[in-house]
């Protein structure tokens, strides 16, 4: 089993990949710019500017959050053999759980974002489906790194 610190490293890598995925790929395809959830958090609870003004700080906060979640995943993940199947068997549910909790609690309750189950014409931050899919990618990356002992 990986250590908490090893999981934090995997979580950092996963969070960076997801942030880059959101900012440089998904938003470009959808032609809609998402506000990073952590940017909105900073804008709403710490700063006094528009969330777009905190894009870099939000990316950094998102990576910090992702590293902590990765640490917890490493601690609770059971020891399993390093196979592609196990990456998906464990990574998809981990990402799904993070995505559902993040979507329903973090986005709607804490940040007050009105989300929809429609994926088309909605930025990631407003679509449950896209938000959950992005978190599944995170779960697969983190669990894969932990299972294969990369960290």
Mean predicted lDDT score pLDDT of the chain:
84
* Strands (DSSP E) found in the chain: none
Phi/psi of residue 25, nearest 5 degrees: -120, -60
User: Which sign does the torsion angle of CA 7, 46, 49, 111 carry?
Assistant: positive
Q: Is the pLDDT at 107 greater than 90, yes or no?
A: no
* Of the candidate ranges 28-32, 41-45, 128-132, 140-144, the one whose mean pLDDT is the lowest: 28-32
Q: Domain extents for the chain?
A: 4-147
In this prediction, residues 47-59 reach a mean pLDDT of 85
Which pLDDT score, from 0 to 100, does residue 20 have?
83
Q: Decide: 105 and 95 in contact? Cβ < 8 Å.
A: no
Which pLDDT score, from 0 to 100, does residue 71 have?
92
Between 126 and 140, whose confidence is greater? 140
Which pLDDT score, from 0 to 100, does residue 141 have?
94
Which pLDDT score, from 0 to 100, does residue 103 have?
85
Cα–Cα distance, 91 to 144 (Å, whole number): 7
Tokens of 46: 């710490």
In this prediction, residues 68-73 reach a mean pLDDT of 92
Q: Is the pLDDT at 2 greater than 70, yes or no?
A: no
Q: Decide: 11 and 71 in contact? Cβ < 8 Å.
A: yes
List residues bridging with 116 in a β-sheet: 127
């Amino acid at each position: 089993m990986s250590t908490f610190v090893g999981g934090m490293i995997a979580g950092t890598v996963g969070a960076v990949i997801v942030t880059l995925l959101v900012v440089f790929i998904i938003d470009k395809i959808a032609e809609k710019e998402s506000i990073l959830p952590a940017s909105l958090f900073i804008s709403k609870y710490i700063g006094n500017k528009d969330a777009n003004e905190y894009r870099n700080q939000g990316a950094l906060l998102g990576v910090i959050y992702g590293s902590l979640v990765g640490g917890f995943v490493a601690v609770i993940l059971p020891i399993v053999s390093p196979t592609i199947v196990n990456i998906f068997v464990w990574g998809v549910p981990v990402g799904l759980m993070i995505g559902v909790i993040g979507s329903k609690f973090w986005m709607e309750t804490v940040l007050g974002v009105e989300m929809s189950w429609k994926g088309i014409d909605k930025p990631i931050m407003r679509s449950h489906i896209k938000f959950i899919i992005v978190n599944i990618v995170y779960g697969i990356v983190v669990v894969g790194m932990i299972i294969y002992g990369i960290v």
